[in-house]
Amino acid sequence: MIRVTVWNEYIHEQEQEEIRRIYPEGIHGCIAGFLKKEDDIEVRTATFQEPEHGLTEEVLQNTDVLIYWSHMRQEEFSDEVAKRIQRHVLNGMGLIALHSAHYSKMMRLLMGTGMTLRWKHDERERLICTAPYHPIAEGVPSHIDLPREEMYGEYFDIPKPDDVVFTGWFSCGEVFRSGCTFTRGLGKIFYFQPGHEEYPIYDNSVIQKIIINAVRWCRPVSRKMGQPDCTQVITTLEEEYQKR
């Protein structure tokens, strides 16, 4: 079983009637809903307003993959919890950062760059697969049309991704590296642009397929608890051979 924690800021859905109508259970509820149907995935959710944002040491120790959506409270998010997430990723926890989570504290800690981009409301997007060999693209068509989405445009100030699985085309004349993979420490990271709160993007079955694929791809290969310090080596290979 892959143990997934779906984290959502859950502010828009509580404060704005029109967003609540789109995601009555919250974005986290929507995502947890379709993940639960998979036999190899076990889901829990957490939100901003819980103590420690619901991401305690214990929760993260029991999380194989963290899915994370944030927007309005990026700056108010606890520095300590952001560092805790970073540490768990380096120790092997998978991370799927959705949409405006590009600018979350944990992503800025993990990436080290500015994470800035260009943006514009209400554009048409075509999401084009630019790495059809990647497990995240398994069973996904060569492109997906999203009639309404927030535009995110280049230059996107990220470190060079391992793979750009999807590239976004926007009708206003912009492109974006919309689906990017990274490895940090023992952890795999997938950043995925679609998912502006005003449109029911996570109800799209192909978007769901991509997120499910990503969960499987970024499950931990191995999991060590406790981040290593620099380690002193005492013996040489010669000495080890002589001991045998």
Residues 108-167 within binding reach of a copy of itself (CB under 8 A): 109-114, 116-120, 123-124, 126, 128-130, 132-135, 137-139, 142, 145, 151, 153-155, 157, 159-160, 162-164, 167
Range in contact with a copy of itself (rule: CB under 8 A) among 10-18, 36-44, 204-212, 222-230: 222-230
35 CB-side CA count, 13 A: 28
Q: Which tokens go with 46?
A: 């957490």
How far is CA 56 from each of CA 27, 52, 83, 147, 222, rounded to the nearest angstrom? 21, 6, 12, 38, 21
Q: How far is the CB of 228 from a copy of itself (least distance, A)?
A: 5
Question: Between the CA of residue 227 and those of 35, 111, 162, 183, 224, what are the distances in Å?
Answer: 30, 18, 23, 16, 8
User: Is residue 221 within the footprint of a copy of itself (CB under 8 A)?
Assistant: yes
> By C-beta, is 28 or 88 nearer to a copy of itself?
88
Residues 2-31, one symbol each (x = binds a copy of itself by CB under 8 A, - = not), give: ------------------------------
Contacts with a copy of itself, 66-105, as mask; x by CB under 8 A = --------------------x---x-x----------x--
Q: Is 204 helix (H, G, I), strand (E, B) or coil?
A: coil
Q: In the bound complex, what is the minimum distance in angstroms from residue 130's beta carbon to a copy of itself? A: 5
Name, in order, each residue with C-beta under 8 angstroms of 19's C-beta and a sequence gap of 6 or more: 12, 13, 197, 198
Is 238 a binding residue for a copy of itself by CB under 8 A? The answer is yes
Q: Which residue has the tokens 């999203």?
A: 146
Q: Tell me if 56 contacts a copy of itself by CB under 8 A.
A: no
Helix (H) or strand (E) holding 2: strand 2-8
